[in-house]
Chains A and B, each alone.
Chain A
Amino acid sequence: MKIDHVLTTCPYCGTGCNFYLQVVNERLIGVIPCKTDEISQGRLCIKGYNAHTFVQHPDRLKHPMIKEKGKMRKASWDEALDKIVSEIKRITSEHGNDSVAVFASAKCTTEENYLFQKLARSAIGTNNVDHCARLCHASTVAGLVYSFGSGAMTNSIPEFEDANCILVTGSNTLEAHPLIGSRILKAMENGAQVIVIDPRDTPLSRLAQFTLHQKPGSDIAWINGMIRVIIEEGLFDKEFVDGRTELFEELKQVVQQYTPEEVEKITGIEPKMLVDAARTYAKADRSMIAYAMGITQHSNGTDLVKSLANLAMVTGNVGKESTGVNPLRGQCNVQGACDAGCLPDFYPGYQKVNDTGANKKFRGAWKSNLSTKVGSTITSTMEKMESGEIKGLIIFGENVMVSDPDIAHIEKALNSLDFFALVEIFPSETSKFADVILPAACYAEKDGTFTNTDRKIRMLRKAVGPPGEAMPDWKIACELGKKFGAEGFDFSSPAEIMDEMASLAPIYGGVSHGRADTEVISWPCPTKDHPGTKVLHVDGFKMGRGKFAPVHHSPPNEEPSEEFPMVLSTGRNLFQFHTGTMTRKSPKLEQEAPEPYVEINSGDAKMLGIEDGSRVRVTSRRGSIALVAKVTERIIPGTIFIPFHYAEAAANRLTNPAYDPIAQIPELKVCAARIERS
């Protein structure tokens, strides 16, 4: 009789709760929250409590498979790996290294992601490596790097409790990041004022003191409007603005035209509400901003993030505890995948691939000829696949057929490939297109680290063995690297991989498994004796001064028309996660939210003769899906909302792939659509 309780990290949202997996004779039977964990404090959300259920599901992929004459057949590891290497080599020798791309995974460990980008850069020879951060927080990285010099959450999760004011926008925190929501509830109990700005009512907005509903895609207008009120009324932090920022005069100029009345015209927010919210945010001693995809997933997402940074800097709410601009990252390790360099323009630790110094350093370390040409993002890779410029693709654990915008386009792109290899834990909508499928181990079956949304290095510890012949992704990447003939893929453990990454990425310089095993470290942590950094920018910004961004409101790429009169927004619900690959195999989660639905305002519904529970059809310029209507007061008229978890009515058949010119993040949050009874 062997019973173990293995401390590990939740595989769902970026909060990074730790918990114990209960293992009885190699079988996972439950999850016990960890009472001494700094992040979760012995609490979890329903996804965390059910995180063991999908792991040993019978549908897990157990053997490598190769497609032959349109049919999948079992293959040995050697055969499958050889096939990948020879196909990719054939493509690169015929069409050049940049005709291949690698998609890394925010669900894999940081160590694995480090190897994925090393594989792309050093073994294949291309910077075409990217991951789903492109779809959620690419604009955060670009925007915050511009404003502050670093693209990550400025403060830490526990600090929410001590804030006097919390402004939450574009984040359904209680559902998408429940344990961060829990901190916000605690702050309210301690007397904090909470301002929620969202087109929908959310569980948090119903509890908050201030709820403002803006029209989707109008955010820069209300932010500029608030900044204008703050400057007009002398509520800005002159000392901070003079001492630590630049371009204030330009910002002042730009916001001038955003009078509360003007803002109302653009956003629909009542002038008095705007002014009250602005005053509350500015007058509080410590004000925090939290935001998520409602801000980033726009064709001007980078500008939007910069505007939030403007708001924080005007009021001096940066570089102190319980302040800052705090992007809440959606996936367990989207932060770590970015840190590890799974971005087409950055080596590990945000060192630019086109910087000669950085290029030289990595050439030396990896003993390989590295390209200085910035690679292709997921969004442009999809276009290049369709046009035939990119012919080979390796994906580690992403279900692009549900998660990416405009699925019809993606289907076409995947079909145009010469060769496509997929590493996954379950068969998915995407796996149907693969030429080779490799079975991977999931979070409970391997060691490694995730970096959560507040830059903390969180340990994963192996609780059970993987099913069948499945292997952890880091081993798969090592095998592939070796078969490509590249040097530096001889790792015997994730701890060794982290050591190499730490030696090359200064922000991880002091990170090791030895330390992370017993200590909670937040990067930057440059040396072994450095305690890590909870609050960023305390003693100044990386580039000297924080930079205001004078930006104007611009309408979304696609506005409602006669044919498509509604604004469609997408997002998540509490019980499902992303494309549902894991949650939909957890009975308790599936039972809570089994069916795809579209939320519609009761007034709109009445006009269209739609009742709660009616079957309806939603159509955009790109596609059409059938689902059930949920009639509610909780969404503003003229707007509809669909959670994107469901393959059978995938919201991303409808969404607009138009993207932000800087970060190339697609406009998943707004497009024009029509809804009718079916």
Chain B
Amino acid sequence: MNDPGKEISRLAFDERGADYLLAVREEYGNAGPAFVAKGEDVGDIRTDIPYQLVTILRKIYPYMEDGKIAVVIRRCEEKALNELIKRGIIDGDRIIRIGLACSEGQIEACRCTDPVPSCVDIGSPGKGWNEDQLSKELSAMSSEERLDFWVAQFRKCNKCYACSTNCPVCVCDHCVLEECTFVAEKGIPPGMAFHLIRAYHLSDKCTECGECERSCPAHIPLLTFRKMTNRDMKDLYGYESGDTETVSPLLTTLEGDLLEEEED
């Protein structure tokens, strides 16, 4: 498999019957998203640049009237796709998955605990990371210190909305972050509410893909922020996002069940 492009195109079009392929391709000395139809030249496919293809898929999906789309997906993207299917945003039958196992370097960059897709077509499965160093340091702090840390980080925010624009599972049609009722501050930085609302809104969907952190121009360790929130979700509700079935506790607690259980 010297040329992953050949293999990916064979899997997508010849073996799995796709009409289109969404992957990352090199062009003009840069790597970027490419959408190719069956029969077209797939070009110079790259698997080492972590574009969030599920976000890109979600943006073009409403315009796709027919056809099956093959997507090269890493584990986190696979989980994001499952969340979208579960919520009826994407029809799972129209998506063909080509599983990409992340490299050691990528796993380290994401401090990723769960790096292997359910079906590995490209790459070789790497070992997951145990712990995020920064989460560990923050957990050891007092809650005041921890708050100070995040307040200082969020003061750098430039309100580019990259963390929501590029997130595969940030899916509301109408985003409350854009409303002054919820985020009162005009100008930058936005107040803490901006980041806390986002934290809550994604607590049952985030797949720790790290795209928010990678695209944050303020270099805020958003992935650590996510990992810590997700850990709370797991500890409190035993919930983890990423499959097509498990119903979000945010939906069930509204009916009261889980909260009552907690009091027992």
Binding site for B on A (CB under 8 A): 1, 3-5, 7, 18, 20, 22, 24-25, 27, 29-30, 32-37, 42-46, 48-49, 174-175, 178-179, 181-182, 185-186, 189, 203, 206-207, 459, 517-519, 573-574, 588, 591-593
Contact = CB atoms under 8 A, between A and B. Distances in A.
B30 A593 contact: no
A37 B160 contact: no
Given A24-B63, A182-B219, A45 B160 contact: yes
Given A43-B160, A203-B189, 12 more contacts: A1-B63, A5-B34, A22-B59, A32-B51, A35-B51, A35-B214, A37-B30, A43-B216, A46-B161, A182-B219, A185-B156, A574-B158
Contact of A49 (B32, B51, B160, B187): B160
B178 A591 contact: yes
A526 B237 CA distance: 65
Interface of B: 20, 27-35, 37, 49-51, 56, 59-60, 63-67, 155-156, 158-162, 165-166, 178, 186-189, 214-219
Given A24-B63, A207-B155, A591-B178, A42 B32 contact: no
Contacts of A43: 160, 162, 215-217
Contacts of B187: 573-574, 593
B194 to A, nearest CB: 12
A518 to B, nearest CB: 4
Contacts of A175: 188
A574 B186 CA distance: 11
A1 B215 CA distance: 29
B95 to A, nearest CB: 15
The 4 nearest A-B residue pairs measured at CB: A518-B29, A182-B217, A3-B35, A43-B217
B141 to A, nearest CB: 19
A32 B217 contact: no
A22 B60 contact: yes
Contact of B215 (A5, A7, A42): A42
A29 B189 CA distance: 27
B59 A7 contact: no
Nearest to A6: B32
A45 B60 contact: no
B162 A49 contact: yes
Contacts of B178: 588, 591-592
Nearest to B27: A7
Contacts of A29: 59-60, 63
21 contacts: A1-B63, A7-B30, A24-B63, A29-B63, A33-B166, A35-B32, A35-B49, A36-B30, A36-B31, A36-B49, A43-B215, A43-B216, A44-B162, A48-B160, A49-B160, A179-B217, A185-B218, A186-B219, A189-B219, A207-B155, A591-B178
Nearest to A3: B35
A4 B160 CA distance: 24
B30 to A, nearest CB: 4
A459 B67 CA distance: 33
Contacts of A30: 59
Given A5-B35, A20-B33, A44 B59 contact: no
Nearest to B216: A43
A22 B61 CA distance: 12
Contacts of B31: 35-36
A670 B28 CA distance: 45
Contacts of B29: 36, 517-519
Contacts of B67: 1
Given A1-B65, A1-B67, A7 B32 contact: yes
Contacts of A44: 160, 162, 215, 217
A501 to B, nearest CB: 21
Interface SS of chain B: helix, strand, loop or mixed? loop
A75 B60 CA distance: 38
Contacts of B214: 35, 42
B74 to A, nearest CB: 14
Nearest to B31: A36
A616 B216 CA distance: 38
A49 B158 contact: no
Given A206-B155, A573-B187, A574-B188, A178 B162 contact: no
Nearest to A43: B217
Contact of B217 (A7, A178, A459): A178
A573 B219 CA distance: 21
Contacts of A27: 63
Contacts of B216: 43
Nearest to B36: A3
A394 B181 CA distance: 46
Contacts of A574: 158-159, 187-188
Contact of B158 (A3, A174, A593): A174
A2 B156 CA distance: 39
A480 to B, nearest CB: 32
Nearest to B56: A32
Contacts of A25: 63
Nearest to B211: A42
A20 B60 contact: no
A42 B50 CA distance: 10
A517 B29 CA distance: 8
Contact of A45 (B51, B158, B189): B158
Contacts of B156: 185, 207
Contacts of B186: 592-593
B219 A46 contact: no
A518 B28 contact: yes
Nearest to A38: B30
A459 B27 CA distance: 13
Contacts of B219: 182, 185-186, 189
A559 B66 CA distance: 68
A22 B37 CA distance: 16
Nearest to A182: B217
A178 B158 contact: yes
Nearest to B165: A49
A189 B156 CA distance: 11
A187 to B, nearest CB: 11
A186 B218 CA distance: 8
A203 B32 contact: no
A1 B64 contact: yes
B63 A174 contact: no
Nearest to B152: A207
A3 B21 CA distance: 11
A518 B26 CA distance: 11
Contact of A46 (B49, B65, B160): B160
A13 to B, nearest CB: 13
A593 B31 CA distance: 34
Contact of A20 (B32, B66, B159): B32
A593 B180 CA distance: 11
Contacts of A1: 20, 37, 63-67
A114 B256 CA distance: 69
A4 B67 CA distance: 17
B32 A32 contact: yes
A174 B178 CA distance: 20
A517 B28 contact: yes
A664 to B, nearest CB: 33
A151 to B, nearest CB: 29
Nearest to B180: A591
